[in-house]
């Protein structure tokens, strides 16, 4: 199996070095990314079914996930409320009517369904399914290559990132508080410190964090990271409308890396157009850090 550092950084950097201005090609890449995520999560479900002592491992997954998401969100919320008090986020926006949050949550849960489907198929233990881990590894390389291209060509410049102070501040606070929560999780869950920090480095990007940590630490830790980060997105969708009125920094920070895509419409409806630049910068910063931090902690 390829090392965690090589499998993450090499295809990501290679993709980032490719300038692409063709809008149609970028749309194709975005579509491919969506489908490839489903494929890799399907393979992850199959690999999970081949674990020895399956029942105890499933309990371990949900135990790790429940404690991890609770601790990390408590640290995030406390730090972001502190930021809001020290540097208030002034605004005049009146909240608009929101789309169905239940429908958005169900959209996220489709990914869980793919993992469960792969798991069910894996329980048949067909001989060919034993190669699911190797198949997911090579599919992951292609996924990271496409993510590198996407990050390079999303239109964000270094100047735009640096000048949006609020997006940068919220992102930095989320990173520091998440890693602090990850260190405590390592202690509470009796895991190595680097494993706890790696699990805390997903920032809501459940599809990527679950895949990368499955490659690095196996399907138990990878699945726990997946459910940990999926729960973050679902909780954010439900809490954003209420939090925006009290602490805009907390509403944005809870979204993690998804603030530049999936949760962006909810943020815009709840917080107005003025929150969008900060949300994009915040999401871009965290999306860039997820593979880099995981490469560092799993190397």
**Number of Cβ atoms within 10 Å of the Cβ of 197:** 23
Compute the distance between CA of residue 271 and CA of residue 274 in angstroms, rounded to an integer: 7
Mean of the pLDDT values across residues 228-235?
85
| pLDDT (average), residues 24-45 | 80
pLDDT at 220 over 60: yes
Q: What is the pLDDT of residue 252?
A: 93
Burial category of 298 from C-beta neighbours within 10 Å (exposed 0-12, middle 13-18, buried 19 and up): buried
pLDDT digits (tens, 9 = 90+) for 251-288: 999 999 888 777 777 787 777 767 878 888 898 889 88
Only one residue has tokens 């895509």, namely 261
Rounded to whole angstroms, how far apart are CA atoms 130 and 171? 40
Residue with tokens 């090392």: 3
Higher pLDDT, 30 or 88: 88
Query: Residue 131 has what DSSP assignment?
Result: G
Q: Please give the model's pTM, rounded to 2 decimal places.
A: 0.75
Number of domains in the chain: 1
φ/ψ (deg, to 5) at 96: -95, 170
Instruction: Examine the pLDDT at 28 and tell me if it is beyond 60.
Output: yes
- Distance of alpha carbon 217 from alpha carbon 223, whole angstroms: 10
49-73: per-residue pLDDT in tens? 776 666 778 888 889 999 999 999 9
Identify the residue whose tokens are 């393979």: 43
**At CB < 8 A and 24+ separation, what contacts does 221-224 make?**
221/64, 221/195, 222/44, 223/44, 223/48, 223/61, 223/65, 223/115, 224/60, 224/61, 224/62, 224/64, 224/65, 224/68, 224/199
* Enclosing domain of residue 185: 4-298
């Amino acid at each position: 199996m390829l090392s965690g550092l090589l499998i993450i950084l090499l295809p990501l950097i290679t993709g980032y070095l490719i300038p692409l201005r063709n809008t149609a090609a970028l749309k194709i890449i975005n579509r491919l990314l969506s489908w490839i995520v489903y494929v890799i999560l399907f393979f992850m479900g199959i690999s999970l079914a081949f674990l020895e002592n399956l029942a105890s491992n499933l309990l371990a997954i949900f135990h790790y996930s429940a404690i991890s998401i609770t601790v990390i969100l408590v640290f995030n919320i406390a730090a972001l409320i502190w930021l809001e008090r020290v540097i208030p986020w002034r605004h005049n926006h009146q909240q608009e009517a929101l789309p169905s949050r239940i429908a958005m949550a169900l959209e996220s849960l489709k990914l869980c369904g793919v993992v469960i489907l792969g798991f069910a198929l894996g329980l048949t233990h067909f001989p060919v399914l034993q190669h699911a881990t190797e198949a997911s590894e090579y599919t992951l390389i292609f996924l990271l290559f496409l993510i590198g291209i996407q990050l390079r060509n999303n239109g964000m410049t270094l100047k735009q990132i640096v000048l949006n102070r609020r997006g940068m501040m919220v992102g930095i606070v989320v990173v520091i508080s998440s890693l602090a929560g990850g260190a405590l999780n390592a202690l509470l869950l009796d895991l190595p410190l680097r494993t706890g920090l790696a699990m805390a480095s997903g920032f809501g990007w459940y599809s990527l964090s679950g895949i990368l940590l499955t490659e690095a630490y196996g399907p138990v830790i990878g699945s726990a990271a997946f459910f940990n980060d999926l729960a973050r997105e679902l909780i954010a969708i439900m809490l954003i409308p209420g939090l925006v009125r009290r602490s805009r920094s907390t509403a944005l920070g809870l979204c993690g890396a998804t603030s530049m895509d999936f949760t962006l419409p909810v943020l815009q409806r709840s917080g107005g157009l003025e929150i969008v630049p900060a949300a994009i910068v915040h999401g871009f910063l965290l999306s860039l850090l997820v593979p880099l931090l995981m490469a560092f902690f799993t190397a």
